[in-house]
Structure formats: structure tokens, C-alpha cells
């Protein structure tokens, strides 16, 4: 009888209907929080117990469901012609070694033709000069516009060292190579550059099907070159362009340059206008801290200096004066839309006196504007207080460099009704 009673007692302890929840057996003597019981399991007896229901937390079914994995959102596919995309190019030197022997170069190659050779440009300068066309070059009869974007001088003396990035041409650092038996290398024009944005945004600027685009990463239009050497270089570029277009079809020419490239585009506009009698062709020009050599009176520069009027500019910032009215005679002003940014920072950093040019009376902190006979501005100048290298190389200053240049070119297009 005693055995039967112990058996029934054990069933009562294990039954959920009696204790209001499942019992757990934990060791010989077990303290249960929910049942407040002490069990002598070894002898099969309950020493003391007060039974209470175990509290259960009911969770809504929705909280127990595993949420479905959201479908991945596909990344937007960038348009190949959208602004801010880099532009692939095939960079080439003006001259390279097409047949190298152990004793030296036997035969020279000229990827763009012998225009610079025939113009008298030195062999050394031809070997060091690099540029590229952008996109598919239209047939000669279809070209209506020319757009050229130029870096400044590369290295302290234009050598192969110091090949540097540029916000105008879109050049990248360390782009050069040994051109012995290698006439070209693939490169990319930086997406944020003036060149890439102007090329990509056809709706804002010019149609690619009608435009010859050049990006000059090293023009070899160097500060220390003689006046004659510079003239030979200009003639080489002019003659090359002459082989690619029919001037009677040309409606407009865009020229943008940084540092020495700024001087190049100013002078190239003059060369093209005079050499090919382009009296009815419109020019949109932008110079980013353009540098011309005062000792050669290049682009009319003199030894007279004008202080940078910005309060944020260092006291040492000053630019060499030139008279823009003289550089753009009254008969040409209606066909010119020119923008120039000057800092006046000494370019070399060692006190050689290499600085940007400025219009002779542009002494206001807000810059200056010169108008043509119709009251339209043919020349606009702004001042800036960043360094010369920052202006030409750093996209962090684009709000003062790249963006104003593009806005200027957009305005020139509207003024000249280009389409």
C-alpha cells in the first residue's frame, strides 16, 4: 500500500495539470522557484511543497515569423556619356623610336604626323610631348568645332620627370613611359576634369559627332624655351589642326589651359586667327593661372606687377601685367569670350619670379570685365588665393577652378549660338 501511495505522489509531481507547469528534476535536493518545493529524490519523497502556476509569456505569432529577405536593389547603371565618367584615351608622343638597335634608334615614328618636325620643333621636345584625341575623331568634312585642353609644364624643365595630374586636361600622375618601340599607351582622362565633363555633357556643350577634342598632357610649350622654339611648337599644333579640319566649316574653337597651358591657349588662339585668317570664327578661351614669360614679353607681359587684391591672399602674391585690349584688338573682340583666373603665387617655389599674368588695371578683389563694342564681355578675370599647384592639380578647389570654367564655356556657347 505504501508503495502505491509513493507511486501516486510521484505522478502528481510530474503531472502539469497538478502543478500548473512542467516539473524539473535537479539533483538530490532541488529548490524550484516556480513550485517552491523541496524534493528528496533519492528516497522518493516530497519534503515540502507549495504549488504555483508557472507564468508563461505569450508572444504574438507575427513576432515569431522569420521576415522575408528583401530583394536586392540593383545599382544604377551609369550612362556611358553621363558627366563624371572618365574618358579612355590612347596617349601618344609626338615622336618615338620605331626601330631600336643596340647602338640606338635606327628609325623614328610620328604617330600624329611630322608637323612639329617640319615646323622646326627640337627632337628632344618632340620625344617628351604627349597628347591624345578624345573619342572617335570625326571625318575632316564633319568637324565644326575644336576643343583643346592643356596641362601646364611638366617638371622643372619640362623633362620626363614630374608628369603630373591636372584638373583641366584630366592628366593623371606618372602617365609617361619609355617610348622606345612603343608608340601609345591607354590612359583615362579624369572624370572630374574640365576635359572629361566638357566631352561627356553633349547637351550642355558640343556634339561629339562634330567636335575634334584634344587633351594635351605635355605640350612642351615650356617657360625656358626660346621665343623661336615656342613659335615652332605653336606652328606644329596649328599645322596639325589644319590637316584635320576645313576652316570654312569651323564655327567655334574652345581652348582651355592651366599654368603654361594657359599661355599656350592664349597664344594658340592668336596663331590660328592670324595664320588661317579666322576672322569669323568664335573663340571660347579659359586660362587657369596662366603663366607667360615676361622677359620675352610673351603675350604682352611686362615686369610691372599687380598685387593680388584679395585679403585672403598672402602678401607675396602678385601677377605680371599685360594689356588685354592690345592682345585682343577691337576687330576681334566680338569673336572672343575669354576667362582668366590669377593667383600671383610664385610657381617654382624658389623665388625665380615665375608668376601668372593679369590685365594691367584689374586691381579689384571682385576681378574685372572688359566689353566689346556691343557691350558683351570679351574678357573676364577673377582672383584666387590658393597656391598655383592647388589651382592646377587639386579637385578640392573645383568650385573656384573647374566649375567656373565650365560655366564660362556654357555661357560662351549661348553667346555664340553654337549647336
Please name the residues in contact with 386: beta carbons below 8 A apart, sequence gap of 6 or more. 343, 345, 394, 397, 400
- The reported pLDDT for the residue numbered 12 is 46
Query: Is 38 part of a structural domain of the chain?
Result: yes
Q: What is the pLDDT of residues 167-225, one digit of tens each?
A: 999 999 999 998 987 899 999 999 999 999 999 999 999 999 999 999 999 999 999 99
Query: Is 175 part of a structural domain of the chain?
Result: yes
Q: Are residues 16 and 158 in the same domain?
A: no
The answer on pLDDT for 249 being more than 90 is yes
| Structural domain harbouring 6 | 2-53
| Better-predicted residue by pLDDT, 402 or 32 | 402
Q: Are residues 92 and 38 in the same domain?
A: no
pLDDT class for 41, splitting at 50, 70, 90?
very low
Average pLDDT score over the chain? 85
The answer on pLDDT for 43 being more than 80 is no
**Cα gap 6→105, rounded to integer Å:** 112
Residue 240 to residues 113, 119, 132, 171, 397: CA-CA distances in angstroms?
Answer: 8, 10, 13, 21, 33
- The reported pLDDT for the residue numbered 161 is 53
Q: Which pTM value belongs to this model?
A: 0.80
In the numeric block, the cell 582651355 is attached to 256
Beta bridge partners of 215: 132, 149
Query: Is 81 part of a structural domain of the chain?
Result: no
Query: Is 366 part of a structural domain of the chain?
Result: yes
What is the domain count for the chain? 2
Q: Are residues 383 and 320 in the same domain?
A: yes
pLDDT class for 252, splitting at 50, 70, 90?
very high
pLDDT class for 156, splitting at 50, 70, 90?
low
Q: Are residues 275 and 350 in the same domain?
A: yes
Beta bridge partners of 145: 211, 252
- The reported pLDDT for the residue numbered 51 is 42
- The reported pLDDT for the residue numbered 351 is 86
The answer on pLDDT for 1 being more than 90 is no
- Of all residues in the chain, what percent carry a pLDDT higher than 70? 79
Instruction: Report phi then psi at 284, rounded to 5.
Output: -110, 115
**Cα gap 380→333, rounded to integer Å:** 12
Q: Are residues 35 and 112 in the same domain?
A: no
Q: What is the pLDDT of residues 320-377, one digit of tens each?
A: 999 999 999 999 999 999 999 999 999 998 889 999 999 999 999 999 999 999 999 9
Query: Residue 19: which region, alpha, beta or left (left: phi > 0; alpha: psi -120 to 50)?
Result: alpha
The answer on pLDDT for 19 being more than 50 is no
| CB-based contact 140:101 (threshold 8 Å) | no
**Average pLDDT for 251-271:** 98
- The reported pLDDT for the residue numbered 18 is 36
- The reported pLDDT for the residue numbered 155 is 78
Q: In sequence order, what E strands does 41-184 have? A: 45-49, 87-93, 96-101, 104-109, 130-133, 145-150
Taking residue 154's Cβ as centre, other Cβ atoms within 10 Å add up to 26
Amino acid at each position: 500500500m505504501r508503495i502505491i501511495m509513493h507511486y501516486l505522489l510521484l505522478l502528481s509531481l510530474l503531472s502539469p495539470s497538478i502543478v500548473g507547469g512542467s516539473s524539473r528534476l535537479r539533483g538530490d535536493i532541488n529548490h524550484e522557484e516556480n513550485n517552491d518545493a523541496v524534493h528528496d529524490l533519492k528516497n522518493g519523497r516530497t519534503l515540502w511543497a507549495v504549488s504555483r502556476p508557472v507564468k508563461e509569456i505569450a508572444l504574438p505569432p507575427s513576432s515569431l515569423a522569420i521576415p522575408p529577405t528583401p530583394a536586392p536593389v540593383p545599382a544604377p547603371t551609369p550612362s556611358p556619356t553621363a558627366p563624371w565618367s572618365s574618358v579612355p584615351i590612347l596617349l601618344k608622343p609626338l615622336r618615338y623610336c620605331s626601330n631600336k638597335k643596340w647602338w640606338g634608334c635606327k628609325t623614328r615614328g610620328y604617330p600624329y604626323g611630322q608637323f612639329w618636325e617640319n615646323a622646326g620643333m627640337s627632337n628632344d621636345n618632340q620625344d617628351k610631348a604627349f597628347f591624345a584625341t578624345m573619342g572617335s575623331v570625326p571625318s575632316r568634312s564633319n568637324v565644326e568645332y575644336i576643343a583643346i585642353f592643356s596641362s601646364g609644364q611638366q617638371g622643372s624643365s619640362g623633362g620626363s620627370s614630374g608628369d603630373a595630374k591636372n584638373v583641366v586636361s584630366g592628366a593623371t600622375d606618372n602617365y609617361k613611359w619609355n617610348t622606345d618601340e612603343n608608340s601609345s599607351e591607354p590612359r583615362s582622362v579624369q572624370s572630374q576634369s574640365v576635359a572629361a565633363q566638357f566631352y561627356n555633357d553633349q547637351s550642355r556643350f558640343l556634339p561629339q559627332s562634330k567636335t575634334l577634342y584634344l587633351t594635351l598632357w605635355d605640350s612642351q610649350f615650356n617657360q625656358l624655351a626660346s621665343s623661336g622654339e615656342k613659335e615652332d611648337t605653336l606652328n606644329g599644333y596649328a599645322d596639325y589642326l589644319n590637316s584635320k579640319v576645313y576652316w570654312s566649316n569651323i564655327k567655334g574653337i574652345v581652348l582651355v589651359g592651366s599654368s603654361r597651358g594657359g599661355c599656350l591657349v592664349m597664344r594658340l588662339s592668336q596663331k590660328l586667327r592670324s595664320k588661317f585668317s579666322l576672322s569669323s570664327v568664335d573663340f571660347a578661351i579659359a586660362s587657369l593661372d596662366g603663366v607667360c614669360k615676361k622677359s620675352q614679353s610673351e603675350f604682352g607681359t611686362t615686369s610691372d606687377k599687380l598685387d593680388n587684391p584679395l585679403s585672403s591672399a598672402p602678401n607675396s602674391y602678385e601677377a605680371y601685367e599685360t594689356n588685354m585690349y592690345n592682345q585682343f584688338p577691337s576687330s576681334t573682340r566680338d569673336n572672343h569670350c575669354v576667362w582668366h583666373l590669377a593667383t600671383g603665387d610664385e610657381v617654382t617655389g624658389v623665388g625665380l619670379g615665375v608668376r601668372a599674368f593679369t590685365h594691367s588695371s584689374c586691381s579689384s578683389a571682385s576681378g574685372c570685365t572688359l566689353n566689346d563694342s556691343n557691350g558683351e564681355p570679351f574678357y573676364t578675370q577673377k582672383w584666387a588665393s590658393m597656391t598655383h599647384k592647388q589651382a592646377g592639380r587639386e579637385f578640392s578647389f573645383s568650385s573656384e577652378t573647374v566649375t567656373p570654367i565650365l560655366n564660362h564655356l556654357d555661357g560662351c556657347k549661348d553667346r555664340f549660338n553654337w549647336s
